[in-house]
């Protein structure tokens, strides 16, 4: 979810792709993003010699040039097929084409609770061996926003308060969130991140139904 309640969503409808075609495109681009994630992790942790680094850089530069030979202008946005399927593939948290995203796969329980199990490695480090606090806030902002939008209509972050209970170690983690109450156009949510030892970060947020959506 975005952090400005007045923001318009960059959303547009693409040709009516079948479920099979969406799956095919995902199978094309998702492995590429995963390979780039591995490249980032390897770049952080490698100790190869200078000549190897220079050779790899040349290979990466060549790959970037090949990918840039045909690309869209600006951001990926939210693309929907005419059958209503959403493709938020550039999203910084869940984007299957975004190597910066962990990515998260969120699940919804019948009671509306949203949760996800995910892994954060070396690319998300803040304090040595632990997750950067801003990354924790990013993930909580997203999972709370997911919980605040049970009908699939976007509600944007009005405010979010994050409390760091203890340092969050890199590795396998869990996050979840749920609506605590609603008041007109405001939806209040609470959630947390935890590791195998318990909660590490807590958050509460207020999410706003944007004006342009209220007018529809």
- Euclidean distance between CA atoms 165 and 163, whole angstroms: 6
pTM for this prediction: 0.87
Half-sphere exposure for 18 (CA within 13 Å, toward CB): 3
> 11-66 pLDDT, tens per residue?
555 566 777 888 899 999 999 999 999 999 999 999 999 999 999 999 999 999 99
CB 123 within 8 A of CB 44: yes
The predicted-structure confidence for 152-170, as pLDDT tens digits, reads as follows 777 899 999 999 999 999 9
> Is pLDDT larger for residue 120 or for residue 2?
120
Q: What is the number of other CB atoms lying within 10 angstroms of the CB of residue 141?
A: 22
pLDDT at 211: 73
Q: What is the per-residue pLDDT for 1?
A: 46
b/e code 67-94 from CB counts within 10 Å (16+ = b): eeeeeeeeeebbbbbeeeeebbbbbebb
Mean pLDDT of 184-201: 97
Whether 7 has a pLDDT exceeding 60, the answer reads: no
pLDDT value at 6 more than 60: no
pLDDT value for 3? 47
> According to the model, what pLDDT value does residue 129 have?
98
User: Residue 14 has what pLDDT?
Assistant: 58
| Average pLDDT of the chain, as a whole number | 90
pLDDT at residue 52, as a whole number: 98
Q: What is the pLDDT of residues 102-160, one digit of tens each?
A: 999 999 999 999 999 999 999 999 999 999 999 999 999 999 999 998 877 778 999 99
Q: In 3D, which of 206, 128, 207, 208 has the Cα closest to residue 168?
A: 128
Rounded to 10 degrees, the C-alpha dihedral 159/179/103/79 comes to -80
Confidence tier at 78 by pLDDT (50, 70, 90)? confident
Q: Tell me the pairing of strands 114-120 and 107-108.
A: antiparallel
């Amino acid at each position: 979810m975005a952090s400005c309640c007045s923001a318009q969503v960059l959303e547009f409808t693409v040709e009516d792709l079948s479920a099979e075609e969406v799956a095919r495109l995902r199978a094309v681009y998702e492995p590429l993003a995963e390979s780039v994630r591995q490249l980032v992790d390897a770049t952080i942790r490698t100790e190869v010699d200078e000549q190897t680094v220079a050779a790899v850089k040349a290979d990466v530069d060549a790959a970037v040039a090949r990918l840039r030979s045909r690309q869209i202008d600006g951001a990926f946005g939210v693309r929907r097929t005419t059958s209503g399927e959403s493709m938020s593939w550039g999203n910084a948290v869940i984007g299957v084409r975004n190597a910066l995203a962990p990515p998260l796969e969120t699940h919804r329980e019948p009671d509306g609770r949203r949760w996800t199990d995910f892994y954060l490695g070396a690319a998300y480090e803040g304090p040595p061996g632990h997750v950067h606090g801003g990354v924790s806030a990013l993930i909580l902002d997203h999972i709370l926003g997911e919980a605040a939008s049970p009908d699939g209509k976007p509600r944007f972050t009005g405010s979010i308060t994050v409390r760091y209970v203890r340092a969050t170690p890199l590795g396998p983690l869990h996050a979840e969130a749920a609506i605590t109450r609603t008041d007109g156009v405001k939806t209040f949510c609470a959630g947390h991140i935890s590791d195998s030892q318990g909660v590490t970060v807590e958050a509460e947020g207020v999410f706003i139904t944007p004006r342009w959506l209220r007018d529809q």
